[in-house]
């Protein structure tokens, strides 16, 4: 006997009402993905599940209830103007990171620029910029081969050709080459309680954690990027809001000029940029 989808979703919404991870929207998205239908269709009284699909949907809901990111379960995530494959080898792109895309597109209008998305993960930053500015030369680098394989598939998926480089931060690049170096590096400290929050407990720790206080990679990148930027080039770094004061001071000490801090959609200081004179 088949199960009415609408009744099942109502039942599961009640069952998981006290769960910290499962929302009604999550349930709807999981059902849409499983059945290949739009949200407008899932509350139709005629939409039913056979036992196989019912069991599959229940299994997906259990995965979400454990804190596994919805994007991992669905296998994809939208970011800016592109749709990305995501998997446990890469971080799930966040809306806060779009702050960088918006500012770069507003601030730089030249047709030919060399851009480095340092620690690219899924390729979100580099591919979004390449899609908007096809004439820009975009390099996407990562220390993880699995992450670069994901970026490669996302490049094909979005018809955005970029250069893929397997390297530990800046080791593979020549100096005075880039107009922009952009990075959303690990910036959470070891043992930080946020690592147990929604999604983060399932995401790759190497892409999240940076030393005991979360600042090792931020300081490493900002101290070395000046050598790899052209004169007049800019470094963009995403960081935690509670790191904003130290990052501003650090960029000043390293010799960057025209330092500007950017707020994300929540009003938090999330991004800093600085210029090489």
pLDDT attached to residue 46? 76
Tokens of 29: 């998205």
| % of residues, the chain, pLDDT over 70 | 98
pLDDT attached to residue 121? 97
End-to-end Cα separation, the chain, in angstroms: 71
- Phi then psi dihedrals of residue 264, to 5 deg: -85, -170
pLDDT attached to residue 118? 98
Question: With bands split at pLDDT 50, 70 and 90, how would you rate the model's confidence at 192?
Answer: confident
Q: What is the pLDDT of residues 69-103, one digit of tens each?
A: 999 999 999 999 999 999 999 999 999 999 999 99
Mean pLDDT calculated for residue range 197-220: 85
User: Does the pLDDT value for residue 2 go beyond 90?
Assistant: no
d(CA 141, CA 119) in angstroms, rounded, equals 5
pLDDT attached to residue 205? 86
User: Does the pLDDT value for residue 199 go beyond 70?
Assistant: no
Please give the residue that has the higher pLDDT: either 277 or 201: 277
Closest alpha carbon to 74 in 128, 33, 22, 20: 33
Please give the residue that has the higher pLDDT: either 40 or 17: 17
Mean pLDDT of the chain: 93
User: Does the pLDDT value for residue 1 go beyond 60?
Assistant: no
User: Does the pLDDT value for residue 195 go beyond 80?
Assistant: no
Question: With bands split at pLDDT 50, 70 and 90, how would you rate the model's confidence at 198?
Answer: low
Mean pLDDT calculated for residue range 165-181: 97
Q: What is the pLDDT of residues 105-136, one digit of tens each?
A: 999 999 999 999 999 999 999 999 999 999 99
Question: pTM of the entire structure?
Answer: 0.93
pLDDT attached to residue 84? 98
Q: What is the pLDDT of residues 26-62, one digit of tens each?
A: 999 999 999 888 888 887 667 888 899 999 999 999 9
């Amino acid at each position: 006997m088949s199960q009415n989808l609408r009744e099942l979703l109502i039942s599961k919404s009640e069952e998981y009402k006290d769960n910290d991870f499962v929302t009604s929207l999550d349930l709807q998205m999981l059902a849409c993905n499983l059945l290949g239908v739009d949200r407008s269709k899932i509350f139709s009284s005629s939409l039913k599940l056979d036992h196989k699909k019912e069991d599959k949907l229940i299994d997906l809901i259990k995965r979400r209830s454990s804190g596994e990111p919805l994007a991992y379960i669905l296998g994809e995530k939208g970011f800016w103007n592109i749709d990305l494959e995501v998997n446990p080898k890469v971080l799930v792109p966040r809306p806060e990171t779009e702050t960088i895309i918006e500012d770069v597109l507003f601030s730089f209008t030249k047709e030919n620029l060399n851009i480095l998305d340092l620690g690219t993960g899924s390729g979100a930053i580099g591919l979004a910029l390449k899609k908007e500015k096809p004439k820009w030369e975009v390099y996407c680098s990562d220390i993880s081969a699995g992450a670069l394989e994901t970026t490669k598939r996302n490049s094909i998926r979005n018809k955005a050709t970029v250069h893929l480089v397997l390297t530990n931060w800046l080791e593979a690049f020549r100096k005075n080459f880039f107009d922009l170096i952009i990075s959303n590096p690990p910036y959470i400290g070891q043992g930080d309680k946020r690592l147990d929050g929604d999604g983060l407990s399932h995401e790759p720790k190497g892409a999240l954690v940076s030393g005991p206080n979360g600042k090792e990679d931020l300081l490493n990148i900002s101290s070395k990027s000046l050598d790899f930027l052209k004169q007049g080039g800019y470094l963009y770094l995403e960081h935690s809001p509670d790191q904003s004061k130290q990052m501003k001071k650090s960029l000043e000490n390293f010799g960057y000029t025209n330092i500007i801090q950017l707020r994300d959609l929540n009003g938090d200081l999330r991004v800093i940029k600085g210029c090489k004179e």
